[in-house]
Each structure stands twice: as C-alpha cells, then as structure tokens.
A and B are shown apart, each in its own frame.
Chain A
Amino acid sequence: MDNLLVILRKPPYGLVNAAEAVRHAGGASAFDYTSTLYLIDSGVLSAKKNQDAGDTGYTGVGDTLELLSDEMDIYASRSSLEEYGLTSEDLVEGVKIDDGQVLNNSLREAQTVMIY
C-alpha cells in the first residue's frame, strides 16, 4: 500500500502550511494511502486543544486533527512540545507523542515525504 508522510513544522494560522498539510494527509488517507501526519517545531501548536476559529473563516485545525486521528496516525514531537510548554493534556484527542523513533521509522518507510 502507498505510504505518505506529511511533516508540518509551521503554526496553524497565518500561513497556509497547516491547512495544506492537513488537506494532503487527510486526502491521501481517504484514498487508502497509509498516511502519517507528523507535527514538529511550531507545527505542534496545531494540536493544541480549545482552538476557537469562531467566524474567522479559518477551519479549526485542532478539531480537524481530532477527526482525522480516527483514520490516520498523527504524532507530535515531544521535544517540540516541551519547547512550547505543552504536555499531552494540552492536546486534542488522538494525537500521539513521539520521542523521535516514530519519525525515524516513518522517514525510512514512507514512499513520499511532503514538508509543510
């Protein structure tokens, strides 16, 4: 089965990176790819719970990640979370925390790596 790794290293709003990363990772998953979304650096802020997009027109990235986690693996880098003072309790449901091993394995196994 085709295997896609999407790495998001930018914050959830103000840039198009998070929306595109989620769109591609989610889209690939819907087409039966094995798809992994990996959050690193300020990308981990996308997994913070209680994001309220309100009527801004943005799609709430946290809620989207929670929904997507039912059908694909989503990981956040532990060292990046620590840099931003976040723990597992600050994250939406379904996002797993990685010490680096998952990232290494995913880089090795993915057929395609997309970086946002």
Chain B
Amino acid sequence: MNKTLTLFLNTSPYNYENSYTAMKIAEAALDRDIETHLVASADGVYNFLKGQKGSGLPHAADRFKELMDKGLKVDL
C-alpha cells in the first residue's frame, strides 16, 4: 500500500514556526513520492490567503502554492 502523510496546521503563518515546518516536511515527503495532504483549520487557513506581503520570513501562500503544484493536497 502506498504511504500517505497528512499534516494538520492550525496556526497563523507569521506568529508561529509551524507553517515553515509543515512546508519542509511536505516538501521532503513529496520529493519521496509520498502522497501528502495538509488540513488547515482555525487560523491555519490564513496561510492560504491571497495577497500576502510578508517579508523576512518564509512566504506562506507562495511556498504552499509551489508545494501544491508539486502535488500537495490541501483542505481547509
């Protein structure tokens, strides 16, 4: 059976380090062809808001979009 990894993200993008950790785990899993899902709940949904203009730390929406293009499946 193929492996599946599901990450759960419930914190906002710029007040915690969880978004970055989730991105890097998802990236490593996708690189190994593991089906990877991310479920965002509570303030975690803000990671996927359009028009973010953060700087000085990983850009949540852009980085997650790149991962979605690589196959990350996201549910809000």
List the interface of chain A (C-beta within 8 A of B).
16-17, 20, 24, 114, 116
A-B contacts, CB under 8 A, total? 11
Interface of B is mostly: mixed
Q: Does B43 contact A (CB under 8 A)?
A: yes
- In this complex, how many residues of chain B approach chain A with their Cβ under 8 Å: the count is 5
Which chain B residues numbered 14 to 68 have a C-beta less than 8 Å away from chain A? 41-43
List of B residues within 8 angstroms of A20 by Cβ: 10, 41-42
CA–CA, A17 and B12, complex, Å: 12
| Contact indicator B8/A16 (Cβ below 8 Å) | no
List the interface of chain B (C-beta within 8 A of A).
8, 10, 41-43
Please name the residue on chain B nearest to A16 by beta carbon.
B42
| Contact indicator B8/A114 (Cβ below 8 Å) | yes
11 A-B pairs (CB sep. < 8 Å):
A16-B42, A16-B43, A17-B10, A17-B42, A20-B10, A20-B41, A20-B42, A24-B41, A114-B8, A116-B10, A116-B42
